[in-house]
């Protein structure tokens, strides 16, 4: 017991001695690992429970995990100032989460991860259409390259589009719209309100489709469901904290490690072996999104910690 306590204190001391940039990198990698394990739990929970129920319990149990946070900050800190956008975000977020969770049960985890890298591309396009942001030739070229990367993964001319791939693309689109709504909400509402009300609204929205397929979870399923809620909350906290401590352009490249992590976990647990084109397309998409994020940082003239970074999926 004493040895374990000393080891924990050593870890804390080591973490406190690191620079803000190093802390941000450690937190960012931690969030990626936690999200990756959460994805495994989603797949395992869906083996004995309908995926629509998994989505519902992910939100219900996440709210329970967040209750101490709500109690500590007070209700005033989560007041809604833009109700219409909150409800829009709830419905769009539900579509993205349901599609995202379901695709994880239909296609290899590495393929779903590679397709999810396209979100920044959709965000850039959406910001131009809906927010009036101006993009120049270089970023347009990067978007085109990213779309080519997605086509390499999907290969629509050689393979029929499966439901899993379609849902993965729908999830990326919906979560991109969700990120644009969050960007608008940050102008009027607190981060705590944005995060907590999303979970609160998703509970009744995701309960409705879960009712027709309802069955009570087994003990094993409950363990996975609680794991999803706890890991998701911890990952969200780590991710948000990392982007508050360091420049977005220095952290974005780290995100690519999610692909090999998911590929490794998929191979070890589900015997999935990602194809060559998944790696090639994923790398192309990711490099194009890195370029876009760097151009946006230069255009804003800021390399400061990013307070309004895109919220993580799932």
pLDDT average, residue stretch 103-108: 93
**pLDDT class of 109 with cuts at 50, 70, 90:** very high
The pLDDT > 70 percentage for the chain reads: 82
Helix, strand, coil tally for the chain in percent (to 5): 80, 0, 20
Q: What is the pLDDT of residues 77-92, one digit of tens each?
A: 888 888 999 999 999 9
The mean per-residue pLDDT over the stretch 207-232 comes to 95
DSSP line for 21-82: HHHHHHHHHHHHHHHHHHHHHHHHHTTTS-HHHHHHHHHHHHHHHHHHHHHHH-GGGG--S-
pLDDT of amino acid 18: 63
Among 141, 137, 160, which residue's Cα sits nearest to residue 149?
141
pLDDT for 216: 94
**What length does the chain have?**
314
Structure confidence at residue 63 (pLDDT): 93
The predicted pLDDT at position 215 comes to: 94
Quote the pTM value: 0.82
Residue recorded with tokens 């899993």: 164
Give the pLDDT confidence score for residue 279 in this predicted structure. 87
What number is the average pLDDT over the span 67-78?
86
Q: Note the pLDDT of residue 36.
A: 93
Is the pLDDT at 306 greater than 90, yes or no? no
- Among the residue ranges 13-17, 108-112, 146-150, the one predicted with the least confidence is 13-17
Between the alpha carbon of residue 25 and those of residues 48, 79, 134, the distances in Å are: 36, 32, 30
Instruction: Please give the backbone phi and psi of residue 247, each rounded to the nearest 5 degrees, phi first.
Output: -70, 135
- Token pair, residue 69, equals 């946070």
Question: What sign does the CA torsion over 86, 90, 93, 95 have?
Answer: negative
pLDDT of residue 151: 83
Mean pLDDT score across all residues of the chain: 82
Instruction: State pLDDT tens for residues 221-268.
Output: 999 999 999 998 888 888 777 767 766 666 666 777 888 889 999 999
Confidence category of residue 301, pLDDT binned at 50, 70, 90:
low
For 3, 139, 146, 190, 254, the CA distances from 135, given in Å and listed in that order, are 56, 6, 15, 28, 25
Please tell me the predicted confidence (pLDDT) of residue 303. 46
| Spatial contact of 83 and 244, defined as CB atoms under 8 Å apart | no
Question: How many of the other CB atoms lie within 10 Å of CB of 65?
Answer: 16
Q: Does position 305 have pLDDT exceeding 50, yes or no?
A: no
Residues facing 305 on adjacent strands: 247
């Amino acid at each position: 017991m004493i040895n374990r306590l000393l080891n924990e204190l050593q870890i804390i001391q080591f973490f406190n001695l690191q620079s803000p940039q190093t802390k941000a990198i450690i937190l960012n990698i931690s969030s990626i690992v936690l999200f990756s394990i959460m994805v495994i739990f989603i797949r395992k929970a869906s083996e004995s429970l309908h995926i629509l129920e998994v989505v519902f319990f992910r939100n219900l149990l996440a709210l329970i995990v967040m209750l101490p946070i709500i109690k500590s900050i007070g209700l005033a800190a989560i007041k809604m100032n833009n109700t219409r956008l909150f409800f829009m975000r709830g419905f769009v977020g539900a579509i993205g989460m349901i599609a995202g969770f379901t695709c994880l049960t239909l296609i290899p985890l590495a393929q779903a991860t590679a397709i999810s890298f396209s979100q920044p591309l959709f965000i850039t396009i959406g910001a131009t259409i809906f927010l009036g942001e101006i993009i120049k030739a270089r970023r347009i070229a990067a978007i085109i390259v990213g779309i080519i990367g997605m086509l390499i993964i999907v290969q629509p001319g050689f393979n029929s589009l499966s439901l899993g791939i379609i849902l993965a693309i729908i999830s990326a689109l919906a979560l991109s719209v969700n990120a644009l709504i969050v960007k608008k909400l940050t102008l009027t509402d607190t981060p705590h309100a944005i995060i907590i009300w999303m979970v609160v609204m998703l509970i009744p929205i995701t309960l409705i489709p879960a009712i027709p397929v309802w069955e009570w979870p087994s003990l094993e399923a409950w363990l996975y469901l609680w794991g999803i809620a706890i890991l998701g909350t911890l990952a969200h906290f780590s991710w948000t904290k990392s982007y508050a401590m360091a420049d977005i352009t220095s952290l974005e490249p780290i995100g690519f490690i999610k692909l090999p992590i998911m590929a490794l976990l998929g191979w070890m647990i589900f015997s999935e072996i990602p194809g060559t084109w998944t790696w090639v397309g994923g790398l192309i998409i990711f490099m194009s999104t890195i370029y876009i994020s760097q151009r946006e940082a230069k255009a804003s003239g800021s390399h400061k910690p990013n307070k309004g970074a895109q919220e993580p999926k799932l």
